[in-house]
Chains A and B, each alone.
Chain A
């Protein structure tokens, strides 16, 4: 595929802030019409990558292109092709929703008639009844949806959404998910979506890139990533000597991997039902108390644990990445 046929491409993207390396050699290749989920904990470097791909931040090293246009050499052209909703809704509290959208449309060269049409078309996202109210009176969810509508005013080819559902209630989250699917299905829009929610990446993304400490540690379709660590997972929460328990579990026939996270032991296997009893017996033999034992299919969190040695939801820092 040539550069112009790739929606987003990054090669060796590095970004330093002083002595801190926030992004460390990211390579990406996202096809047109793809929903790409960028999954990682807070502080992993997701937002920094987005800011570089959307022309707000220059890479320290490496290069990136959007639809074949270099983000540093042709930022103006890149901006015409992309829509962006950053992590914090970038809105002016002293403007009305309509003024935000009109200003956005005018700056993208849309005529008055085009702006009116787009506002009407975007009414499924925004709360049309509140469109003439000041943004400062909006709830968090309303502001996020207005921000998304502003990003869509000019019908971008590639849409970057930086944690679009963080802070939304479940119904607001579902509305955003549905809109993301619809934009991709009906418009063929390419979406680059960062998230810290496993289910969001799993549910929406055609492919997922897992980022940790500035590095891309795994990439692939969610189903393929989950398959890579086994068909089934036996999860046991235990009290007692987990090291001895892990050693005992590794000896069981059919077990492909044993991982431990605090008091949870995770056994990856191709046949969960066949190893469930041996696992229970082995744990009993080493004298640990089993508080919970479950057989389930792997999740992206298991993938994250597998590649980083830590759980995605174990990262305490909630600051912007």
Chain B
């Protein structure tokens, strides 16, 4: 494998941050590989937002080192900013400007040349499905659409790393589904993502790794069942012989290691919705008594709870 590809994309060593006298991040070290989606999970006040702000170079830690794609964030934050996009738990968009002007400004602020501003703004709008609302004022958009605009702004300079802090907060179920699709699509295009959230089941839909945080300390990142972004974990409950069903599943394309659980079988599945449909049809055709077939969040929860109990 190419050494440049195998080298960690994000490296954090001994990161310590204090607000006044309270230590929010305590001697944190981890590596994140290129092209992964890392779920940053933990209870309120665990230090997730502070960690993301440190990664973005918005906060100066009291000690430690952070490198993004070999750029020292603390030494050269401006250089690091070219490589990252950061969507905080607020939108940070200009309500009194139209969608188009928000994106044009974002593109210009990122140093994109004048003759490319409009094409870049349009491309970003299309990427988040806002191309038909360009003239609309940002303040008149729904929360979900404002969220999309903020993501488009964060992506306008094609960052290789995207930091998302509680991106699903306050979104309705439909907007969350859209967000989930968007994150999977970004991961599919090679963007490395770190996503913080409380909602584990959502994170599981697109995360490949988990970094758990508690009281300013981290565990991980742990790989989530070897899953890749866009390859959710499936759970099949069986009315009859589990062993026979397990053997059959292992012969099917896209099915990863099958794990036997008390009430069924779980496995990673690399395939889209049509492939899932085909798998279900194959199970039925093989006369396997399937009583349940679902995408599950159990792996991330298990990892998180295991980390929490350590």
Same complex origin of A and B: no
A residues at B contact (CB < 8 Å): none
